[in-house]
Amino acid sequence: MDTVISISGLHKAFGATRALDGLDLKVACGDVHGFLGPNGAGKSTTLRILLGLLRADSGAVRLLGGDPWHDTAELHRRLAYVPGDVALWPTLSGGEVIDLLGRLRGGLDTARRARLLERFELDPTKKGRTYSKGNRQKVALVAALSSDVELLLLDEPTAGLDPLMEAVFRECIGEERDRGRTVLLSSHILAEVEALCDRVSIIRNGRNVETGTLADLRHLTRTAVTADLARPPTGLDALPGVHSLEIRGTRVRCQVDTEHLDDLLAALGRAGVRSLTSQPPTLEQLFLRHYTSEPEAAAL
């Protein structure tokens, strides 16, 4: 099976609020797929529809070859989920929750459970209500990662983790990818998505605005270039795809559409390059471009 998740034209409204408004999403088998969007974009709603907790108003949703609303229990055998807002039972210890969720899923690997507890430095004997937000998240992560499943659905799983634990999380996801698992990682932390994901979907207001590999998406953005030249350049402002051009004597700063980078470099070369720095576009810029309102986006 090549496509693990396939969503097209998904709509879901809560009263007058349109949470999802024609969302499309495809996740291929073995991919770590980043699912990016600001708060309230519809990421959690999408995941909850994939879990069969919410019923879609319209649109087609396929998960692991089945229908998430009708084949719920069968599909859940093959996936694990980490909610964005982890709530634990106040009187159950973390270890009990991990075991319970694992057993409900059909068993868990006790050796892996022990390793994960150690790596995440989690005390499994504490009661649910005494864990901090980050530790509650670790409980859910250990429970999800110690099961043998094909698909991991992770809803902003690192929101409460400290940087050290975030690094552990990244290692773990890397290992999952190496084992051939598919991961749908919802996040608004760009560095995390850049570090982990093969493909990215960006959604806003319940609709996706961009999907592709990171390389694809970078083509859509501009590279920032700063150069010190031998003599003042000429004709740069006439080049296609050059924006925010600033020339101070022999120092040039500008942004250039990725497909016109060649032309700019040739023009700079004609003026004699003393030093050159170029910054590849970050996901951050992509993100800002899509999320800031339209006039601001044009200026980027």
Partner 1 sequence: MTALTGTGNLVRLALRLDRVKLPIWIVALAVMTASTASAFEGLYGTLAEREAFAATITANPALSALLGPVFDATTAGGLTAWRIGAIFGVLGGLMGHQTVMRHTRLEEETGRLELLGAGVVGRHAPLAAAQVTACGAGALAGLACAGALIALAQPVGGAIAFGAGLTGIVWTFAAVGSAAAQLTTTARAANGIAGGLVGTAFLLRAAGDALGEGDSAWPSWVSPIGWFQQLRAFGDERWWVLGLMLAFTAVVVAVAHAMAARRDIDEGMLPTRPGPAVADDGLRSPLGLAWRLQRGMLLSWTVAIAIWSAVIGSLADGVADLVGDNQQMAQIIDALGGAENIVDTYLAAVFAIVGLVTAVYALQAALRLRTEETGLRAEPVLATPVRRTAWVASHLTFALVGPALLLAVSGLAMGLVHGLRAGEPGTQVARLVGAALVQLPATWVLAGIALALFGLLPRMTTAVWGVLGACLLIGQLGAVLQFDQRVLNLSPFTHVPQLPAGDLTWAPLVWLTAVAAALVAAGMAGARHRDIA
- 140 lines the binding site for partner 1 (CB under 8 A): yes
Q: Which is nearer to partner 1, 61 or 140 (CB)?
A: 140
Confirm if 144 and 154 have CB atoms less than 8 A apart.
Answer: yes
133 secondary structure, DSSP code: H
- 72 lines the binding site for partner 1 (CB under 8 A): yes
- 125 lines the binding site for partner 1 (CB under 8 A): yes
Q: Which is nearer to partner 1, 143 or 145 (CB)?
A: 143
**Which member of 18, 26, 127, 251 binds partner 1 (CB under 8 A)?**
127
- 85 lines the binding site for partner 1 (CB under 8 A): yes
123 secondary structure, DSSP code: -
Stretch of 84-92, 156-164, 214-222, 237-245 lying at the interface with partner 1 (CB under 8 A): 84-92
- 167 lines the binding site for partner 1 (CB under 8 A): no
Amino acid at 121: E
**Which member of 9, 66, 124, 212 binds partner 1 (CB under 8 A)?**
124
CA atoms within 13 A on the CB side of 235: 10
Q: Kindly give, in sequence order, each residue whose CB lies less than 8 Å from that of residue 23, ignoring residues fewer than 6 positions away.
A: 7, 9, 10, 11, 42, 46, 59, 203, 206, 207, 208
DSSP codes, 188-220: S-HHHHHHH-SEEEEEETTEEEEEEEHHHHHHT
> Whole-number minimum distance, CB 9 to partner 1, in Å?
19
Q: What are phi and psi of 279, to 5 degrees?
A: -110, 120
Q: Which is nearer to partner 1, 134 or 212 (CB)?
A: 134
Q: Give residues in contact with partner 1 (CB under 8 A).
A: 48, 51-55, 72-74, 76-77, 79-81, 83, 85-96, 98-101, 103-106, 124-127, 129-130, 140, 143, 153
